[in-house]
Amino acid sequence: MTAIKATNIVRHEGHVSRPQRESLLGQQGVLLWLTGLPSSGKSTVAYTVEHALAARGHLAYVLDGDNIRFGLNKNLGFSADDRAENIRRIGEVGKLFVDGGFLTLASFVSPYRADRDGVRALMAEGDFVEIFVNTPIELCEERDPKGLYKKARVGEIPNFTGVSDPYEEPEKPELIIETDTATPPEAAAQVIDLLEKMGKIQPIQA
């Protein structure tokens, strides 16, 4: 069945502006997009950042790849087309969160450069921050808690990024995190330092 696109829709503007919401929260909305190979440490870094920001009194939220596929994107698989739609939907959700003033962390393999660039194109300048969680594939396989690499290498999982499907590294990410040398708290500190430099949050006064 071919989906019918809605045509009789009109965008409505509310009575509370984004700057007003950001003023209430004491922060500026942003979408921090963590990309990298499976088991590279994206989610660990994202949740560590969320916890650190909450400890500083900031409102942050993690959009995690696995969690999203339990609900919003449960009808999507892992073909190139489904991956593209997966990322497109998250980009739209992330844009809404940013408009709400959230410090939003999206943790997705998002292996294709064009899909990530498509999300960037949705956002205003400075609202999208690409973070490359750069981890050697050997370490990803060693860390793999689900045994997915092992299954992929014997053909039990098709279209698996890094094994039977490509991963296109970001060309000009705003931040590169080397998780083979940085601990999760150290990686989180790098992200928070970037947020401070961008003026999304204020530094802690000594």
Write the pLDDT tens digit of every residue in 70-119: 988 999 988 889 989 999 999 999 999 999 999 999 999 999 999 999 99
Question: What is the value of pTM for the model shown?
Answer: 0.91
Predicted confidence (pLDDT) per residue in 138-192, tens digit = 999 999 888 999 999 999 999 899 999 999 999 999 999 999 999 999 999 999 9
Separation CA 22–CA 123 (nearest Å): 17
Confidence of residue 1 (pLDDT cuts 50, 70, 90): very low
- Domains of the chain, by residue range, sit at 24-198
pLDDT at residue 133 greater than cutoff 80 = yes
CATH number among 3.30.420.40, 3.40.50.300, 3.40.50.880, 3.30.465.10, domain 24-198: 3.40.50.300
Q: Which is the catalytic residue, given 23, 39, 110, 164?
A: 110
> Is 164 annotated in the active site?
no
Looking at residue 205, the DSSP 8-state letter turns out to be P
SS3 72: coil
Strands (E), 121-162: 128-134
The strands making up 128-134's β-sheet, listed across from edge to edge, are 60-64, 103-107, 30-35, 128-134, 175-178
